[in-house]
A and B are shown apart, each in its own frame.
Chain A
Amino acid sequence: MNANEIHEKIKAQFPEGIIEFKSEGVVEPFIVVRPDLIREISKFISEDPDLKFDYLMSLSGVDFNDGNVGVVYHLYSMQRRHRIVLKVKVAKDKPDVPSVESVWKSANWHEREAFDLFGLVFLDHPDLRRILLPDDWDGYPLRKDYKVQEYYHGMKVPY
């Protein structure tokens, strides 16, 4: 299936769920969906026999630098051999996104990484802790407005 067909299929199931779909003038087509529906949509596209997105290639946090942060899901279907990109956008001061860990187990660590570096909060994640940085680190380094802390346990941080 190509991106247009995949989009139609999701739209038929979730008429209210899609905010934007872009397939022209981009290297890879993507669908922006409503953050509160991401888990339902993920469940649907991973189970639907025509879509069968069984392989979450990558899950990335992004700071769009317009007051929003977001998550980008790169999905692939091993069985149907097609791919799609899903995106969600949430406000920086309330960065809540439902976790898709129950759909794809690989999301577990990716979501922890996005939480660690972007401060995205994944609702119903089974183990949402920092993964790469120390547990008592201040701030989220990959946010565009990140200011590094002056001292960490008495050690000067900025070099």
Chain B
Amino acid sequence: MAELRTEEMVLNMGPQHPSTHGVLRIELVVDGEVVVDAVPHIGYLHRCFEKHAEAMNYQQVVPYCDRMDYLSSMSNDFGYVLAVEKLLNIRVPERVEYIRVIMTELQRIASHLVAIGTYGMDIGAFTPFLYCFRDREMILDLFETTCGARLLYNYMWPGGLSHDIPPGFVEKTKAFIKHFRPTIKELNDLLSYNEIFVRRTANVGVLPAEVAINYAASGPTLRGSGVKWDLRKDDPYSVYHKFDWDIAVGTGEMGTLGDCWDRYMVKVWEMEQSLRIIEQAIDSIPEGDVQAAIPKRVRPAAGEVYVRSETARGELGYYIISDGSQNPFRVKARAPSFVNLSLLPEISRGYLIADMIAIIGSVDIVLGDVDR
């Protein structure tokens, strides 16, 4: 084959490309159809969240967290308020913890539904996308009845919540679970085990476990490589330890362990686990006032903290330094999409250009989270 080698060409993919899930530009070096190197260029959505955060007080930062990973705003807020509460050393009422967990798990399902739906669309399956968005709509309705917003909630505040759950929320959530469980099976029949889909994703973009760890991958990207690692179990926070559920990991059943199909399938399995958590939590929400522990003034003592939590995309860490004033001295958000995207060149080399679409989608990035 050596004599067939052609001259290398640089091909620009994005920033306006439907499969890059936002404004991401990838500089591909190709040898014919084969990808020799892929260099991601990011920053198109950079708003310097960290600079904004230094200019306002702790409570005002929350809406900015919403806007980082705009598909899982609840989880972003959750991580931030956990960090601030640890800095303030306050405990929130059990009711708040339960509602936070329920909201975050609903958000995880909603976020995975977008990831799965758009991934199918990248590969060429349009119908599952509509099914996914139909079901996601039900979750957004639940959020809307609770706090009035459908995408950017500003729902979790340091010390509590902006609103208690409204009457009928528990019943509606149960109705959603009853509706949604069978649709996961439907989705599997339609997409996950679909012959065309499997052939496009299995054995493509293989990420070995030790490479994933060296790149500090997290979330479904790490678990797709068979690493049983979930912060909700391995570095537990809030009330996750009270619920009975399993970590979904890739198995390599369709091809090689750590391929695109595994990373995709972990998200499907995770939705089932999230349903299990919600089911257990929704029946045992304790009574209480969700705003009882909200401090009048948030002014932590000088110090610093790094708190990480598991969002739909992986480890979201907030490193907050306080100098004792009402504004944070420094807020660093360790965004899961940012770190996961950095390993893209590693899993792209040697595959075809058409596989790039499958590989980018399987890492499941949100550009708002990458660029912050």
- Of the candidate stretches A13-21, A51-59, A89-97, the one touching chain B is A51-59
- B329's nearest neighbour on chain A, judged by CB, is A65
On chain B, the number of residues with a Cβ less than 8 Å from chain A's Cβ atoms is 38
Known: A55-B216, A58-B317, A142-B51. A133 touches B332 (CB 8 A): no
Q: Tell me if B215 and A133 are in contact (CB < 8 A).
A: no
Among B306, B308, B372, max chain A CB count under 10 A is at B306
Q: Tell me if B213 and A62 are in contact (CB < 8 A).
A: no
Known: A74-B317, A131-B43. A28 touches B213 (CB 8 A): no
CB-CB < 8 A to A117: which residues of B? 48, 50
Q: Tell me if B342 and A106 are in contact (CB < 8 A).
A: yes
CB distance from B159 to the nearest CB of A (A): 17
Q: Tell me if B308 and A54 are in contact (CB < 8 A).
A: no
State A106–B214 Cα separation when bound (angstroms): 7
- A54's nearest neighbour on chain B, judged by CB, is B213
CB-CB < 8 A to A132: which residues of B? 42-43, 46, 48, 371-372
Q: Is residue A68 contacting chain B, with contact meaning CB distance below 8 A?
A: no
Q: Is residue A157 contacting chain B, with contact meaning CB distance below 8 A?
A: no
Q: Is residue A72 contacting chain B, with contact meaning CB distance below 8 A?
A: yes
- Residues of A43-87 contacting chain B, CB below 8 A: 54-58, 60, 62-63, 65, 72, 74, 78, 81, 85
- A63's nearest neighbour on chain B, judged by CB, is B330
Among A57, A72, A134, max chain B CB count under 10 A is at A57
State A64–B17 Cα separation when bound (angstroms): 40
Contact of A105 among B215, B234, B308 (CB under 8 A): B215
Q: Interface digits, A128-149 against B, CB 8 Å rule (1 contact, 0 not)?
A: 0011111000000110000000
CB-CB < 8 A to B229: which residues of A? 78
Q: Tell me if A74 and B213 are in contact (CB < 8 A).
A: no
Q: Tell me if B319 and A60 are in contact (CB < 8 A).
A: yes
Q: Tell me if A131 and B42 are in contact (CB < 8 A).
A: yes
CB-CB < 8 A to B315: which residues of A? 57
Q: Tell me if B46 and A72 are in contact (CB < 8 A).
A: no
State A54–B54 Cα separation when bound (angstroms): 31
Contact of B339 among A27, A60, A109 (CB under 8 A): A109
CB distance from A85 to the nearest CB of B (A): 7
Q: Tell me if A57 and B334 are in contact (CB < 8 A).
A: yes
CB-CB < 8 A to A57: which residues of B? 216, 306, 308, 315, 317, 334
CB-CB < 8 A to B306: which residues of A? 28, 57-58, 74, 85
CB-CB < 8 A to B346: which residues of A? 105
Q: Is residue A155 contacting chain B, with contact meaning CB distance below 8 A?
A: no
- Residues of A106-120 contacting chain B, CB below 8 A: 106, 108-110, 113, 117
CB-CB < 8 A to A105: which residues of B? 211, 214-216, 342-343, 346
- Residues of B300-319 contacting chain A, CB below 8 A: 303-306, 308, 315, 317, 319
Q: Tell me if B214 and A104 are in contact (CB < 8 A).
A: yes
- A114's nearest neighbour on chain B, judged by CB, is B332
Q: Interface digits, B323-336 against A, CB 8 Å rule (1 contact, 0 not)?
A: 00000011010100
Q: Is residue B338 contacting chain A, with contact meaning CB distance below 8 A?
A: yes
Q: Tell me if B304 and A28 are in contact (CB < 8 A).
A: yes
- B346's nearest neighbour on chain A, judged by CB, is A105
- Residues of B155-178 contacting chain A, CB below 8 A: none
State A122–B211 Cα separation when bound (angstroms): 22
CB distance from A143 to the nearest CB of B (A): 10
Contact of A106 among B46, B86, B215 (CB under 8 A): B215
Q: Is residue B207 contacting chain A, with contact meaning CB distance below 8 A?
A: no
Q: Is residue B87 contacting chain A, with contact meaning CB distance below 8 A?
A: yes
Q: Tell me if B43 and A133 are in contact (CB < 8 A).
A: yes
CB-CB < 8 A to B234: which residues of A? 81
CB-CB < 8 A to A55: which residues of B? 213, 216
- Write 6 A-B pairs (CB below 8 A) sorted by A numbering: A74-B306, A105-B215, A106-B215, A106-B216, A106-B339, A131-B42
Q: Which residues of A contact B (CB under 8 A)?
A: 26-28, 54-58, 60, 62-63, 65, 72, 74, 78, 81, 85, 104-106, 108-110, 113, 117, 130-134, 141-142
Given contacts A60-B319, A132-B372, 15 further A-B contacts (CB under 8 A): A26-B303, A54-B213, A58-B319, A60-B334, A62-B330, A63-B330, A72-B319, A74-B317, A105-B216, A105-B346, A132-B48, A133-B46, A141-B51, A142-B48, A142-B50
